[in-house]
Structure 1
Amino acid sequence: MVQNKPTQKKNFCIMGDVYGVLMVPKELELEKVNNPLPFQLKIQLPNVGKATKDFLRTREVREFFSGALAGAMTKAVLGPLETIRTRMVVGVGPRNIAGSFIEVIEQQGWQGLWAGNAVNMLRIIPTQAIELGTFECVKRAVTVAHEKNKEKGGPKLQIGDMSLNFSFSWISPTAVGGAAAGFVSTLACHPLEVLKDRLTISPEIYPSISIALRKTYKDGGIGALYSGLCPTLIGMLPYSTCYYFMYETVKNSYCQAKKKKNLNRAEMLLVGALSGLTASTISFPLEVARKRLMVGALQGKCPANMAAALSEVIREEGLKGLYRGWGASCLKVMPSSGITWMFYEAWKDILVIQKGLL
């Protein structure tokens, strides 16, 4: 004989709406009464402070700030040399360095040697930050791509029974990083370069940054702020590529020869100066054409394009005119390059290496 187990009696209630009815346990009905809201809406705001701190701690941001600080310190020291170099390249004043110094001091006083240096500082801080940050980032990315290609092999092209393997190991990460650095920084900061040159050449017409910006925009709109961009980019690519390639190559070769891991500050200064000298010499004719285009309107004779600017220089002064102001340029570029690398490596030691990000 089988005994049925006593079942527990449950209380039920009827719940319904226009679509029908539903029998549910009494406990659910009571819970619904005690908690009238069918759901709870919870919105969790992002932790902006933590996200900002994590972002500022990244290696790329610290390299960016290292470049900005190095550029600012360099331009603060070398402002007078930049003024003399610009005047000689565009053909304003005496054709020798000493005469240019004397003329500027006689006409504008000692402060004239720093004419346009305020906008130069505003220009160089983002320019150097973007340039050095882009160089490090692109060089690192290309290096990683090379390592992956060594493990997996390069891209392949299959044509019937024939298979072609492509290898990009011959591409230098340093050269690609240098070209990218010059290209990106020029696009981002070219208008500041235009304003700086106008403040340097014609301080009586453009006495301040705001007036220079307003008059330049009024004369030619946005296009005037990018005057000379084409020769700048064309000249920047060989300069920037050679500049970074020379520095990295000479630095690594010297360290291997001396069996040391890093250069000291004096060695960085010398290697950086040599890199700047080499790169400037190769690309200097394009620098002359660029300056002519950027300030030609101020003298009432603006060449139509880079080729026209180069032709004009050769016609008026011969081939040697393509290197007019080269001495003043080297006087500025060599210490500027050396000091920039010295300051950059020093700040990178503090902000990147000591923080364990390298």
Structure 2
Amino acid sequence: MADKQISLPAKLINGGIAGLIGVTCVFPIDLAKTRLQNQQNGSRLYTSMSDCLIKTIRSEGYFGMYRGAAVNLTLVTPEKAIKLAANDFFRHHLSKDGKLTLFKEMLAGCGAGTCQVIVTTPMEMLKIQLQDAGRLGKRKFSPRGGLARNEIAAQRKLMPETVPVGTVETKSPTAMQLTRELLREKGIAGLYKGLGATLLRDVPFSIIYFPLFANLNNLGKRGSDDTAPFYVSFISGCVAGSTAAVAVNPVDVIKTRLQSLNRGSTEDTYSGVTDCIRKIMRNEGPSAFLKGAYCRALVIAPLFGIAQVVYFLGVGEFILSFLPKKDN
């Protein structure tokens, strides 16, 4: 119906619950994606996703695969809620007689991707530091058990309280420690490092994902006013999510590199998006932009499949139905 009003609180609840469930299921694969994308020539520790996960479990234990999960689980609720609810909001206001042209579907996706970066950027900024700590921790130790002097300095610059002078061990910082340090050193801009790259990733992702999902989902509808079965929404979310994820993976590599604050002594540092592209092309070749692509597809596919199932089942609407209604 063209005049059907959407319930923004219900959409926010749906998006939040979907994000929590999805992230819990796929976080280890996301960790492998981050570590694979951050590997540069001459510093390869992992040969594949499975190799990364096996080595992570051996060196850091089972919960090492969930390094950085706490900050992601905390912020994924508002992130997914904003993304899904914003898309619904824009689609509702752009529709005419309940119908949308492809251009307006893409425009709604663009609006959703733009809105979400206010949460996505600091969330991924913190998550990447925590996820990559295990990889860097391995590289920091020399064969004699000490840390390279320049790598101690780099670590101390970010988190001085975690790497005292003369130590041979590094303690992984917490999300709160990282947040305080970034705010103290660089202000709010420290948490939003890589904002441009995040926009370059999330806006095209949403432009591809939401129209593709909507059209795939419509194929499973039994009637013009009917909704698609939950399994159609799940499959549509998986296909649209993995397609969009692979399409924007080169920008995701750039974003991951820019947001990684700590580097090994032989690894490049980057001053911006163009500098990152130039150095990756020169030192690693075009194939480097596809690093972690299959991991990202494996993360995004079930994440958005689960999200769409929760969303279309109307969990938020069900929860809100128990609240007392105000009399007009």
Q: Which category of TM-score, normalised to the shorter sequence, fits these structures?
A: 0.7 to 0.9
CA distance in 1, matches of 2:55, 2:187: 33
Q: CA deviation at 1:296?
A: 4.7
Match of 1:193 in 2: 124
Distance 1:63 1:259, change over 3 A: closer
Q: CA deviation at 1:141?
A: 0.7
| CA-based RMSD | 2.7
CA distance in 1, matches of 2:245, 2:123: 21
Match of 1:83 in 2: 31
CA distance in 2, matches of 1:104, 1:314: 29
Match of 2:75 in 1: 123
Q: Which has the higher strand share?
A: 1
Sequence identity percentage: 21
CA distance in 2, matches of 1:225, 1:314: 27
Distance 1:260 1:170, change over 3 A: closer
Match of 2:249 in 1: 284
Question: Are 1:293 and 2:293 matched, yes or no?
Answer: no
Q: Which has the higher contact order (CA 8 A, sep 6+)?
A: 2
Q: Which has the larger radius of gyration?
A: 1
Q: Deviation digits for residues 38-65 of structure 1, max 9, x if unmatched?
A: xxxxxxxxxxxxxxxxxxx971111111
Unaligned 5+ runs, structure 2? 135-169, 323-328
Question: Are 1:316 and 2:283 matched, yes or no?
Answer: yes
**TM-score normalised to structure 1 length:** 0.71
Distance 1:64 1:240, change over 3 A: same
Q: How does 1:262-273 map to 2 (within 5 A)?
A: 262-273=227-238
CA distance in 2, matches of 1:207, 1:346: 39
Q: CA deviation at 1:187?
A: 2.0
Match of 2:216 in 1: 250
Q: CA deviation at 1:349?
A: 7.5
Q: CA deviation at 1:260?
A: 8.3
**TM-score normalised to structure 2 length:** 0.77
Match of 2:203 in 1: 237
Q: CA deviation at 1:352?
A: 8.8
- 8 Å Cα contact 2:10/2:317 also seen in 1: no
CA distance in 2, matches of 1:283, 1:297: 24
Tell me which amino acid in the other structure corresponds to 2:244: A
Q: Deviation digits for residues 292-339 of structure 1, max 9, x if unmatched?
A: 100054446431111211222222221111101111111211121211
Q: CA deviation at 1:220?
A: 2.9
Unaligned 5+ runs, structure 1? 1-56, 151-168
CA distance in 1, matches of 2:97, 2:230: 31
Aligned residue pair count: 277
SS in 2 for 1:172: helix
